[in-house]
Amino acid sequence: MNRFLYFGLVLIFAGCTRPQADDQGKFRVVTTTGMIADAVKEIGREYVSVKALMGPGVDPHLYKATQGDLFSLMDADLVLYNGIHLEGKMGEVLEKLARRKPVLSLGKAIPPEKLLHLSGEGEAAYDPHIWFDVSLWQRVAEAIGQKLAAMLPDKQMEIHANTTAYVARLRELESHIHGRVAEVPQEHRILLTAHDAFGYFGRAYGFRVMGLQGISTVGEYGLGDIRRVVHTITQNRIKAVFVESSVSPRAIEAVVEGAKQRGHLVRIGGHLFSDAMGQPGTSKGTYMGMMRHNVYTIVQALK
Ligand SMILES: [Zn+2]
Protein backbone atom coordinates (compact mmCIF):
# COMPACT_ATOMS: atom_id res chain seq x y z
CA MET A 1 0.00 0.00 0.00
CA ASN A 2 1.39 3.44 -0.74
CA ARG A 3 2.22 5.82 2.06
CA PHE A 4 -0.60 8.23 1.26
CA LEU A 5 -3.23 5.53 1.59
CA TYR A 6 -1.65 4.14 4.71
CA PHE A 7 -1.78 7.51 6.47
CA GLY A 8 -5.27 8.03 5.09
CA LEU A 9 -6.34 4.78 6.76
CA VAL A 10 -4.63 5.67 10.03
CA LEU A 11 -6.40 9.05 10.14
CA ILE A 12 -9.76 7.56 9.34
CA PHE A 13 -9.36 4.72 11.81
CA ALA A 14 -8.42 7.33 14.43
CA GLY A 15 -11.94 8.68 14.00
CA CYS A 16 -11.40 12.08 12.45
CA THR A 17 -14.39 13.78 10.80
CA ARG A 18 -15.77 12.26 7.64
CA PRO A 19 -18.67 13.15 5.40
CA GLN A 20 -22.14 12.06 6.55
CA ALA A 21 -23.76 9.45 4.37
CA ASP A 22 -26.97 10.67 2.76
CA ASP A 23 -28.93 7.44 2.93
CA GLN A 24 -31.70 8.05 5.50
CA GLY A 25 -30.25 5.82 8.16
CA LYS A 26 -30.33 2.69 5.97
CA PHE A 27 -27.97 -0.22 6.52
CA ARG A 28 -24.90 0.70 4.46
CA VAL A 29 -23.25 -1.91 2.28
CA VAL A 30 -20.09 -1.15 0.30
CA THR A 31 -18.93 -3.61 -2.34
CA THR A 32 -15.93 -3.75 -4.63
CA THR A 33 -17.53 -4.89 -7.92
CA GLY A 34 -20.82 -3.84 -9.46
CA MET A 35 -21.90 -7.48 -9.79
CA ILE A 36 -21.87 -7.87 -6.00
CA ALA A 37 -23.65 -4.52 -5.51
CA ASP A 38 -26.37 -5.64 -7.93
CA ALA A 39 -27.01 -8.82 -5.91
CA VAL A 40 -27.15 -6.77 -2.69
CA LYS A 41 -29.76 -4.44 -4.26
CA GLU A 42 -31.90 -7.40 -5.34
CA ILE A 43 -31.75 -8.98 -1.89
CA GLY A 44 -31.58 -6.03 0.49
CA ARG A 45 -33.98 -3.85 -1.56
CA GLU A 46 -35.36 -0.88 0.43
CA TYR A 47 -33.59 -1.86 3.65
CA VAL A 48 -30.06 -1.18 2.43
CA SER A 49 -28.05 1.46 0.63
CA VAL A 50 -25.40 0.02 -1.66
CA LYS A 51 -22.27 1.54 -3.09
CA ALA A 52 -19.90 -0.22 -5.50
CA LEU A 53 -16.37 1.19 -5.49
CA MET A 54 -15.56 -0.13 -8.98
CA GLY A 55 -17.80 1.34 -11.68
CA PRO A 56 -18.29 0.50 -15.38
CA GLY A 57 -15.07 -0.13 -17.30
CA VAL A 58 -12.98 -0.47 -14.13
CA ASP A 59 -10.46 -3.30 -14.00
CA PRO A 60 -10.56 -4.84 -10.49
CA HIS A 61 -7.15 -6.52 -10.84
CA LEU A 62 -5.47 -3.11 -11.12
CA TYR A 63 -7.82 -0.92 -9.07
CA LYS A 64 -6.37 0.98 -6.12
CA ALA A 65 -8.55 2.41 -3.35
CA THR A 66 -8.94 6.20 -3.49
CA GLN A 67 -9.25 8.39 -0.41
CA GLY A 68 -12.99 8.67 -1.14
CA ASP A 69 -13.16 4.87 -1.11
CA LEU A 70 -11.55 4.78 2.32
CA PHE A 71 -14.26 7.12 3.65
CA SER A 72 -16.96 4.93 2.10
CA LEU A 73 -15.39 1.79 3.58
CA MET A 74 -15.16 3.34 7.03
CA ASP A 75 -18.79 4.48 6.90
CA ALA A 76 -20.05 1.06 5.80
CA ASP A 77 -21.95 -1.30 8.10
CA LEU A 78 -20.89 -4.23 5.92
CA VAL A 79 -18.19 -4.60 3.25
CA LEU A 80 -18.51 -7.33 0.60
CA TYR A 81 -15.79 -8.23 -1.87
CA ASN A 82 -15.13 -11.00 -4.39
CA GLY A 83 -11.85 -12.25 -2.93
CA ILE A 84 -9.79 -15.09 -4.48
CA HIS A 85 -7.31 -12.27 -5.25
CA LEU A 86 -9.59 -10.53 -7.76
CA GLU A 87 -9.03 -7.20 -6.01
CA GLY A 88 -5.28 -7.55 -6.30
CA LYS A 89 -4.30 -4.11 -5.10
CA MET A 90 -6.98 -3.69 -2.44
CA GLY A 91 -6.31 -6.84 -0.46
CA GLU A 92 -4.30 -5.10 2.23
CA VAL A 93 -6.89 -2.36 2.81
CA LEU A 94 -9.67 -4.95 3.11
CA GLU A 95 -7.68 -7.12 5.51
CA LYS A 96 -6.95 -4.16 7.78
CA LEU A 97 -10.59 -3.14 7.69
CA ALA A 98 -11.70 -6.67 8.62
CA ARG A 99 -10.23 -6.18 12.10
CA ARG A 100 -12.72 -3.35 12.70
CA LYS A 101 -15.99 -4.23 11.00
CA PRO A 102 -17.77 -7.03 9.12
CA VAL A 103 -15.91 -7.63 5.86
CA LEU A 104 -16.88 -10.71 3.86
CA SER A 105 -15.07 -12.38 0.96
CA LEU A 106 -17.80 -13.98 -1.17
CA GLY A 107 -15.32 -16.35 -2.79
CA LYS A 108 -15.45 -18.20 0.54
CA ALA A 109 -19.08 -19.11 -0.19
CA ILE A 110 -17.89 -21.42 -2.96
CA PRO A 111 -16.55 -24.84 -1.88
CA PRO A 112 -12.89 -25.10 -3.05
CA GLU A 113 -13.68 -28.18 -5.17
CA LYS A 114 -16.01 -26.03 -7.31
CA LEU A 115 -13.29 -23.44 -7.97
CA LEU A 116 -11.07 -23.61 -11.04
CA HIS A 117 -7.53 -24.35 -10.01
CA LEU A 118 -4.86 -22.41 -11.89
CA SER A 119 -2.28 -24.82 -13.19
CA GLY A 120 1.33 -23.94 -12.38
CA GLU A 121 0.30 -21.32 -9.81
CA GLY A 122 0.72 -23.31 -6.61
CA GLU A 123 -1.75 -25.31 -4.57
CA ALA A 124 -4.16 -22.62 -3.44
CA ALA A 125 -4.35 -20.46 -6.58
CA TYR A 126 -7.84 -20.27 -8.03
CA ASP A 127 -9.60 -18.37 -10.81
CA PRO A 128 -11.50 -15.44 -9.20
CA HIS A 129 -14.06 -14.84 -12.02
CA ILE A 130 -16.80 -16.82 -10.27
CA TRP A 131 -19.76 -14.69 -11.51
CA PHE A 132 -19.48 -16.31 -14.95
CA ASP A 133 -20.94 -19.59 -13.72
CA VAL A 134 -24.49 -18.68 -12.74
CA SER A 135 -24.76 -21.73 -10.45
CA LEU A 136 -21.80 -20.41 -8.43
CA TRP A 137 -23.34 -16.94 -8.37
CA GLN A 138 -26.46 -18.47 -6.79
CA ARG A 139 -24.29 -19.54 -3.86
CA VAL A 140 -22.89 -16.02 -3.62
CA ALA A 141 -26.45 -14.63 -3.59
CA GLU A 142 -27.38 -17.05 -0.81
CA ALA A 143 -24.32 -16.03 1.22
CA ILE A 144 -25.28 -12.35 0.81
CA GLY A 145 -28.84 -13.17 1.90
CA GLN A 146 -27.63 -15.02 5.00
CA LYS A 147 -25.30 -12.21 6.01
CA LEU A 148 -27.92 -9.47 5.52
CA ALA A 149 -30.55 -11.51 7.39
CA ALA A 150 -28.15 -12.03 10.30
CA MET A 151 -27.28 -8.34 10.46
CA LEU A 152 -30.87 -7.09 9.97
CA PRO A 153 -32.85 -9.48 12.22
CA ASP A 154 -36.05 -7.35 11.98
CA LYS A 155 -36.11 -7.86 8.22
CA GLN A 156 -35.11 -11.51 8.17
CA MET A 157 -38.34 -12.77 6.57
CA GLU A 158 -38.28 -10.19 3.79
CA ILE A 159 -34.61 -10.77 3.05
CA HIS A 160 -35.10 -14.55 2.90
CA ALA A 161 -38.01 -14.04 0.48
CA ASN A 162 -35.96 -11.67 -1.69
CA THR A 163 -33.07 -14.14 -1.75
CA THR A 164 -35.34 -16.99 -2.82
CA ALA A 165 -36.87 -14.85 -5.59
CA TYR A 166 -33.45 -13.74 -6.85
CA VAL A 167 -32.05 -17.26 -6.86
CA ALA A 168 -35.10 -18.41 -8.84
CA ARG A 169 -34.39 -15.71 -11.44
CA LEU A 170 -30.75 -16.83 -11.57
CA ARG A 171 -31.96 -20.38 -12.31
CA GLU A 172 -34.07 -19.02 -15.18
CA LEU A 173 -31.04 -17.16 -16.48
CA GLU A 174 -29.06 -20.39 -16.37
CA SER A 175 -31.56 -22.29 -18.48
CA HIS A 176 -31.76 -19.34 -20.89
CA ILE A 177 -27.95 -19.55 -21.34
CA HIS A 178 -28.00 -23.31 -21.89
CA GLY A 179 -30.70 -22.85 -24.52
CA ARG A 180 -28.83 -20.09 -26.38
CA VAL A 181 -25.37 -21.72 -26.43
CA ALA A 182 -26.90 -24.88 -27.88
CA GLU A 183 -27.24 -22.88 -31.13
CA VAL A 184 -23.44 -22.78 -31.50
CA PRO A 185 -22.00 -25.94 -33.13
CA GLN A 186 -19.53 -27.77 -30.90
CA GLU A 187 -16.55 -27.06 -33.19
CA HIS A 188 -17.19 -23.31 -33.09
CA ARG A 189 -17.27 -23.13 -29.32
CA ILE A 190 -13.95 -21.39 -28.82
CA LEU A 191 -14.09 -18.15 -26.89
CA LEU A 192 -11.09 -15.93 -27.39
CA THR A 193 -10.77 -12.76 -25.30
CA ALA A 194 -8.14 -10.33 -23.99
CA HIS A 195 -7.69 -11.94 -20.56
CA ASP A 196 -8.73 -15.25 -19.03
CA ALA A 197 -11.98 -14.06 -17.44
CA PHE A 198 -14.26 -16.70 -18.97
CA GLY A 199 -12.91 -19.96 -17.54
CA TYR A 200 -16.02 -20.60 -15.43
CA PHE A 201 -18.26 -19.65 -18.34
CA GLY A 202 -16.42 -22.16 -20.53
CA ARG A 203 -16.68 -24.93 -17.95
CA ALA A 204 -20.36 -24.33 -17.24
CA TYR A 205 -21.57 -23.86 -20.83
CA GLY A 206 -19.17 -25.96 -22.88
CA PHE A 207 -16.70 -23.52 -24.47
CA ARG A 208 -12.97 -23.83 -24.88
CA VAL A 209 -11.65 -20.55 -23.54
CA MET A 210 -8.45 -18.73 -24.41
CA GLY A 211 -7.18 -15.39 -23.17
CA LEU A 212 -4.18 -13.48 -24.39
CA GLN A 213 -3.19 -12.24 -21.00
CA GLY A 214 -3.81 -14.87 -18.35
CA ILE A 215 -6.08 -14.70 -15.31
CA SER A 216 -5.08 -11.24 -14.15
CA THR A 217 -4.55 -8.19 -16.36
CA VAL A 218 -1.47 -7.33 -14.29
CA GLY A 219 0.89 -9.34 -16.51
CA GLU A 220 1.86 -8.17 -19.97
CA TYR A 221 1.18 -10.21 -23.09
CA GLY A 222 4.03 -10.68 -25.56
CA LEU A 223 4.48 -11.47 -29.22
CA GLY A 224 4.65 -15.15 -28.30
CA ASP A 225 1.12 -14.99 -26.83
CA ILE A 226 -0.20 -13.31 -29.96
CA ARG A 227 1.48 -15.92 -32.20
CA ARG A 228 0.01 -18.78 -30.10
CA VAL A 229 -3.48 -17.32 -30.31
CA VAL A 230 -3.24 -16.51 -34.03
CA HIS A 231 -2.17 -20.13 -34.60
CA THR A 232 -5.23 -21.45 -32.76
CA ILE A 233 -7.53 -19.12 -34.70
CA THR A 234 -6.21 -20.09 -38.12
CA GLN A 235 -6.06 -23.82 -37.25
CA ASN A 236 -9.66 -23.89 -36.01
CA ARG A 237 -11.02 -21.41 -38.59
CA ILE A 238 -12.47 -19.33 -35.73
CA LYS A 239 -14.94 -16.74 -37.00
CA ALA A 240 -14.79 -14.16 -34.23
CA VAL A 241 -12.84 -12.95 -31.21
CA PHE A 242 -14.05 -10.58 -28.50
CA VAL A 243 -12.96 -7.39 -26.80
CA GLU A 244 -13.69 -6.72 -23.13
CA SER A 245 -15.23 -3.61 -21.65
CA SER A 246 -12.64 -3.30 -18.88
CA VAL A 247 -9.49 -4.15 -20.90
CA SER A 248 -7.86 -2.19 -23.75
CA PRO A 249 -8.84 -3.63 -27.19
CA ARG A 250 -5.27 -3.25 -28.53
CA ALA A 251 -4.23 -6.85 -27.93
CA ILE A 252 -7.29 -8.33 -29.64
CA GLU A 253 -6.83 -5.97 -32.59
CA ALA A 254 -3.25 -7.27 -32.95
CA VAL A 255 -4.63 -10.82 -33.06
CA VAL A 256 -7.11 -9.94 -35.82
CA GLU A 257 -4.29 -8.33 -37.81
CA GLY A 258 -1.99 -11.35 -37.23
CA ALA A 259 -4.63 -13.77 -38.51
CA LYS A 260 -5.23 -11.57 -41.57
CA GLN A 261 -1.53 -11.76 -42.43
CA ARG A 262 -1.89 -15.54 -42.36
CA GLY A 263 -4.78 -15.29 -44.78
CA HIS A 264 -7.56 -15.96 -42.27
CA LEU A 265 -10.21 -13.30 -41.72
CA VAL A 266 -11.44 -13.23 -38.15
CA ARG A 267 -13.66 -10.39 -36.99
CA ILE A 268 -14.24 -8.75 -33.65
CA GLY A 269 -17.49 -10.36 -32.54
CA GLY A 270 -18.39 -7.56 -30.16
CA HIS A 271 -17.80 -6.24 -26.65
CA LEU A 272 -18.15 -8.55 -23.70
CA PHE A 273 -18.54 -7.34 -20.14
CA SER A 274 -15.92 -9.27 -18.23
CA ASP A 275 -14.83 -7.80 -14.89
CA ALA A 276 -17.24 -4.84 -14.76
CA MET A 277 -20.86 -4.29 -15.76
CA GLY A 278 -22.27 -1.64 -18.12
CA GLN A 279 -23.61 1.85 -17.28
CA PRO A 280 -26.04 2.06 -14.37
CA GLY A 281 -29.64 2.55 -15.51
CA THR A 282 -29.12 0.42 -18.64
CA SER A 283 -29.92 -3.29 -18.87
CA LYS A 284 -26.18 -4.06 -19.12
CA GLY A 285 -25.69 -2.28 -15.82
CA THR A 286 -27.20 -5.30 -14.03
CA TYR A 287 -25.74 -8.77 -13.58
CA MET A 288 -28.59 -10.45 -15.47
CA GLY A 289 -28.39 -7.92 -18.31
CA MET A 290 -24.63 -8.24 -18.55
CA MET A 291 -24.84 -12.02 -18.78
CA ARG A 292 -27.62 -11.92 -21.38
CA HIS A 293 -25.68 -9.38 -23.45
CA ASN A 294 -22.54 -11.53 -23.36
CA VAL A 295 -24.39 -14.70 -24.30
CA TYR A 296 -26.26 -12.95 -27.13
CA THR A 297 -23.00 -11.46 -28.48
CA ILE A 298 -21.10 -14.77 -28.29
CA VAL A 299 -23.89 -16.82 -29.88
CA GLN A 300 -24.54 -14.32 -32.73
CA ALA A 301 -20.83 -14.16 -33.59
CA LEU A 302 -19.97 -17.88 -33.40
CA LYS A 303 -23.07 -19.80 -34.48
ZN1 LIG B 1 -10.29 -10.52 -14.66
pLDDT of 167 over the 60 cut: yes
**Can you give the pLDDT at residue 115?**
97
Position with higher pLDDT, 58 vs 246: 58
Q: What is the pLDDT of residue 216?
A: 77
pLDDT of amino acid 245: 87
CA of 206 to the centre of ligand 1 (A): 20
Nearest by Cα to 200 from 294, 120, 123: 294
Cβ–Cβ < 8 Å for 53, 75 = no
Q: Please, where are the H alpha helices in the chain? A: 3-13, 34-44, 67-75, 91-97, 134-151, 156-181, 199-205, 223-236, 250-261, 287-302
C-alpha distances in angstroms, 111 versus 114, 115, 210, 269?
A: 6, 7, 25, 34
18 CA → ligand 1 middle, Å:
32
Q: How many CA atoms lie within 13 A of 295 on its CB side?
A: 24
Whole-number pLDDT of residue 45:
97
Asked whether the beta carbons of 100 and 133 are under 8 A apart, the reply is no
Does residue 62 fall inside a structural domain? no
- Residue 6 confidence class, pLDDT cut points 50, 70, 90: low
- Judge whether 63 lies within some domain: no
Mean pLDDT of the chain: 91
In which domain, by residue range, is 279 found?
Answer: 185-302
Neighbours of 47 (CB within 10 A): 15
CA of 155 to the centre of ligand 1 (A): 35
Distance 29 CA to ligand 1 centre (A): 23
The 10s digit of each residue's pLDDT in 50-101 is 999 999 999 999 999 999 999 999 999 999 999 999 999 998 899 999 999 9
Lowest-pLDDT choice from 120-124, 141-145, 214-218, 272-276: 120-124
Tell how far the Cα of 221 is from the centroid of ligand 1, in angstroms.
14
pLDDT at 19 (0 to 100): 44
Measured CA to CA, the distance from residue 195 to residue 276 in angstroms comes to: 13
Residue 56's contacts (CB-CB under 8 Å, 6 or more residues apart) are 34, 245, 276, 277, 278, 279, 280, 285
In a domain, 100, yes or no: no
Report DSSP state, residue 153. G
Q: How many domains does the chain have?
A: 1
Given a cut of 70, is residue 247 above it in pLDDT? yes
Whether residue 2 is contained in a domain is answered as no
Whether 20 has a pLDDT exceeding 60, the answer reads no
**Predicted confidence (pLDDT) at residue 128 exceeds the cutoff of 60:** yes
User: How buried is residue 158: exposed, middle or buried, by Cβ count under 10 Å (0-12/13-18/19+)?
Assistant: middle
What's the 216 CA to ligand 1 centre distance in angstroms? 5
Dihedral sign, Cα of residue 38, residue 207, residue 210, residue 266: negative
Q: How far is the CA of 11 from the centre of ligand 1 (A)?
A: 32
Alpha carbon of 33 to ligand 1 centroid (Å): 11
The answer to the question of residue 45 being in a domain is: no
pLDDT band with cut points at 50, 70 and 90 for residue 18: very low
- Tell which residue, 148, 179, 190, 158, has the closest CA to residue 39: 148
Residue 119 lies in a domain: no
**Any idea what DSSP says for residue 15?**
T
Report how far ligand 1's centroid is from the alpha carbon of 274 (Å). Answer: 7
For residue 220, the CA-to-ligand 1 centroid distance in Å is 13
Residue 175: pLDDT band with limits 50, 70, 90: very high
> Is it the case that residue 1 has pLDDT exceeding 90?
no
Q: Please indicate whether residue 232 or residue 136 has the higher confidence score (pLDDT).
A: 136
Q: What is the pLDDT of residue 7?
A: 54
Ligand 1: centre distance to CA 243 (Å) = 13
Evaluate the CA torsion angle 230, 295, 164, 75 in order and state its sign: positive
Q: Measure 214 CA to ligand 1 centroid, in angstroms.
A: 9
H helices, E strands: number in the chain? 10, 8
pLDDT at 288: 98
Q: Is the pLDDT of residue 22 over 70?
A: no
Q: Using alpha carbons, list the distances in angstroms from residue 214 to 193, 199, 271.
A: 10, 10, 18
Q: What's the CA-to-centroid distance between 194 and ligand 1, angstroms?
A: 10
Centroid of ligand 1 to alpha carbon of 74 (angstroms): 26
> How many angstroms separate the alpha carbon of residue 62 from the centre of ligand 1?
10
CATH number at residue 298: 3.40.50.1980
Q: Give domain status of residue 150, yes or no.
A: no
Residue 88 lies inside a defined structural domain of this protein: no
CA of 280 to the centre of ligand 1 (A): 20
Highest mean pLDDT of the ranges 145-159, 182-196, 247-261: 145-159
Distance 85 CA to ligand 1 centre (A): 10
